[in-house]
Amino acid sequence: MALAIFDLDNTLLAGDSDHRWGEFLCDAGLVEADTFRLKNDAFYADYQSGQLDMTAYLDFVLEPLTGMARSAVRSLQRQFVTECIEPMLLDKAFDLLNEHRIKGDTLLMMTATHTVVAEPVAARLGFEHWLASGVGIQDECYTGKAQGSPCFREGKVTHLATWRQRHPEAGDPANSWFYSDSHNDLPLLSAVGHPVAVDPDDTLRSHAEANQWPIMSLR
């Protein structure tokens, strides 16, 4: 039995759920659409170039939820999964997840996306274990701020180490798999025994080729 770790956006999904959440907020009338879209797109460009300030982005995208009750947000989550995530689902991604389940591996989804999005998407994909960037909650309402260190870049390595302390049965990282599309995940890809580039960006593709890592497509 091994640990199989999966990035979410543009790996298991044909798109970026975090960026799509921003579009969803615009469509739902929860933000001033033109201004929000400009900032959301700018943050996404920073992510693609490896320059993203993740805490600043999380505070930006969570601000519209300030003061909203968790119960109210749950209805938005359900609507978001139905309208936005279902079209992003990939048959080959489900096949890959099932291959690891059949082997008896422990499956873990790790994403920099905040938990408001990650939680319902992880459930839709059938994950028991998942890690994402935290959000502030007080008195069952969202604070509109990030909480804790983001599950991003080197932060994924840190979050995984903490998770493994609670799940020692998951096995050694040297015998773990990690599937990702992004050069932002190079710290964790370099820390596992079986890194796999999935529909990789140009930077990750070059690194994977130079290091003879497997490259695959789920599209």
- Name the nearest CA neighbour of 167 among 30, 2, 38: 2
* Segment 24-35, tens digit of pLDDT: 999 999 999 999
Superfamily of segment(s) 3-216: HAD superfamily/HAD-like (3.40.50.1000)
Phi, psi of 181 (to 5 degrees): -100, -10
- The burial of 96, by beta-carbon neighbours within 10 Å (0-12 exposed, 13-18 middle, 19 or more buried), is given as buried
Which pair of tokens denotes residue 93?
Answer: 């991604």
* Segment 192-216, tens digit of pLDDT: 999 999 999 999 999 999 999 999 9
Interatomic CA distance for residues 131 and 3, integer angstroms: 14
Interatomic CA distance for residues 165 and 139, integer angstroms: 29
Q: What is the pLDDT of residue 172?
A: 84
> Do 48 and 219 contact (CB within 8 A), yes or no?
no
- Name the nearest CA neighbour of 7 among 190, 180, 206, 183: 180
Annotated catalytic, 181?
Answer: no
Interatomic CA distance for residues 81 and 122, integer angstroms: 10
Question: Active site residue: 7, 16, 181, 185, which one?
Answer: 7
Annotated catalytic, 7?
Answer: yes
Q: How many CB atoms lie within 10 A of CB 34?
A: 8
Those residues of the chain that have pLDDT short of 50 are none
- Name the nearest CA neighbour of 132 among 114, 120, 147: 114
Phi, psi of 45 (to 5 degrees): -65, -40
Is the pTM higher than 0.85? yes
